[in-house]
A and B are shown apart, each in its own frame.
Chain A
Amino acid sequence: MNWLSWLSDFFSAPDHRSGPDSIVHRVSEHLLFSGEALLYAAVLAVPLGLLIGYTGRGVTVVTAFAGATRALPTLGLVTLAVLLAGVGDTAVLIPLVALAAPPLLVATVEGVRGTDPDVRDAARGIGLTHPQVLWQVCLPSAAPTLLAGLRTATVQVIATATVAAYVGLGGLGRYVIDGLATRKYAVTVGGALLVVLLAVGAQLFFALLARYALPPGMRAQRRAR
Chain B
Amino acid sequence: MIRFEGAGKRHPDGTIAVEGLDLDVPTGRITVLVGPSGCGKTTLLRMVNRMVEPTSGRVLLDGTDVAALEPAKLRRGIGYVIQQAGLFPHRKVIDNIATVPYLLGWDRKKARARAAELLELVGLAPETGKRYPFQLSGGQQQRVGVARALAADPPVLLMDEPFSAVDPVVRAGLQDELLRLQSELHKTVLFVTHDIEEAVRLGDQVVVLREQGRIAQLADPHTLLTTPADDGVAAFLGRDRGLRGLGLRPASTVAVRPVGDGLRYGGWELALDDERRPIGWIDRDAVTAELHPAAGYRPDTDTLRTALDSAVLSPAGVAVALDAAGRATGTASREAVLAALSTPGTGAAGETAPSGSGEAEPGPAAAAAAGDPTDGATGGR
Is B129 interfacial (CB-CB < 8 Å)? no
Is B133 interfacial (CB-CB < 8 Å)? yes
Measured in the bound complex, the distance between the Cα atoms of B87 and A52 in whole Å is 24
Which B residues touch A126, using CB under 8 A?
A: 75-76, 79-80, 99-100, 103, 148-149
Question: B80, B89, B132: which contacts A125 (Cβ < 8 A)?
Answer: B80
B70 → chain A closest CB, angstroms: 9
Is A121 interfacial (CB-CB < 8 Å)? yes
A125 → chain B closest CB, angstroms: 4
25 contacts between A and B (CB under 8 A): A116-B84, A116-B89, A118-B82, A118-B83, A118-B84, A118-B85, A119-B86, A121-B86, A125-B86, A126-B76, A126-B103, A126-B149, A127-B73, A127-B77, A129-B72, A137-B88, A217-B91, A217-B133, A217-B134, A218-B90, A220-B89, A220-B132, A220-B134, A220-B135, A221-B134
Is B193 interfacial (CB-CB < 8 Å)? no
Which B residues touch A64, using CB under 8 A?
A: none
Is A140 interfacial (CB-CB < 8 Å)? yes
Which B116-137 residues have C-beta < 8 A from chain A?
132-135
Measured in the bound complex, the distance between the Cα atoms of B253 and A62 in whole Å is 70
Question: A125, A143, A215, A217: which contacts B82 (Cβ < 8 A)?
Answer: A125
Contact at B90–A125, with CB atoms within 8 Å?
A: no
Which B residues touch A121, using CB under 8 A?
A: 51, 82, 86
| B positions within 8 Å CB-CB of A | 49, 51, 72-77, 79-80, 82-91, 99-100, 103, 132-135, 145, 148-149, 158
Kindly supply a per-residue 1/0 record for chain A positions 120-163, scoring 1 wherever the CB is within 8 Å of any chain B CB and 0 otherwise: 11111111110010001100110100000000000000000000
Sample of 18 more A-B contacts, CB < 8 Å, known A126-B80, A141-B89, A141-B90: A118-B86, A121-B51, A122-B82, A122-B85, A125-B49, A127-B77, A128-B103, A132-B72, A140-B88, A140-B90, A215-B91, A215-B132, A217-B132, A217-B134, A218-B90, A220-B89, A221-B89, A224-B134
Question: A124, A127, A128, A217: which contacts B89 (Cβ < 8 A)?
Answer: A217
Contact at A123–B88, with CB atoms within 8 Å?
A: yes
Q: Which residue on chain A has the smallest CB distance to residue B149?
A: A126
Which A residues touch B99, using CB under 8 A?
A: 126, 128
Which B residues touch A217, using CB under 8 A?
A: 88-91, 132-134
A142 → chain B closest CB, angstroms: 11
Interface size on A, residues (CB 8 A): 26
Lowest 9 CB-CB distances: which A-B pairs, in order? A122-B86, A127-B76, A127-B75, A125-B80, A215-B90, A217-B89, A217-B132, A140-B90, A118-B84
Q: Is the interface of A mostly helix, strand, loop or mixed?
A: helix
Is A216 interfacial (CB-CB < 8 Å)? yes
Q: Is the interface of B mostly helix, strand, loop or mixed?
A: mixed
| A positions within 8 Å CB-CB of B | 116, 118-129, 132, 136-137, 140-141, 143, 215-218, 220-221, 224
Which A residues touch B73, using CB under 8 A?
A: 127
A78 → chain B closest CB, angstroms: 40
Measured in the bound complex, the distance between the Cα atoms of B149 and A119 in whole Å is 14
Contact at A218–B89, with CB atoms within 8 Å?
A: yes
B92 → chain A closest CB, angstroms: 8
Which A residues touch B132, using CB under 8 A?
A: 215-217, 220
Q: Which residue on chain A has the smallest CB distance to residue B46?
A: A125
Contact at B88–A125, with CB atoms within 8 Å?
A: no
Measured in the bound complex, the distance between the Cα atoms of B74 and A220 in whole Å is 34
Residue picked from A121, A143, A218, A224, most chain B C-beta under 10 Å: A121
Which A residues touch B86, using CB under 8 A?
A: 116, 118-123, 125
A137 → chain B closest CB, angstroms: 6
Question: A119, A127, A220: which contacts B88 (Cβ < 8 A)?
Answer: A119
Q: Which residue on chain A has the smallest CB distance to residue B86?
A: A122
Measured in the bound complex, the distance between the Cα atoms of B79 and A127 in whole Å is 10
B145 → chain A closest CB, angstroms: 8
Measured in the bound complex, the distance between the Cα atoms of B99 and A122 in whole Å is 11
A136 → chain B closest CB, angstroms: 8
Residue picked from B73, B74, B99, B158, most chain A C-beta under 10 Å: B99
Which B residues touch A118, using CB under 8 A?
A: 82-86
Measured in the bound complex, the distance between the Cα atoms of B72 and A132 in whole Å is 10
Which A residues touch B88, using CB under 8 A?
A: 119, 123, 136-137, 140, 217
A48 → chain B closest CB, angstroms: 23
Which A residues touch B49, using CB under 8 A?
A: 125
Measured in the bound complex, the distance between the Cα atoms of B135 and A160 in whole Å is 42
Contact at B90–A127, with CB atoms within 8 Å?
A: no
* Known contacts A127-B72, A220-B134: A119-B100 contact under CB 8 Å: no
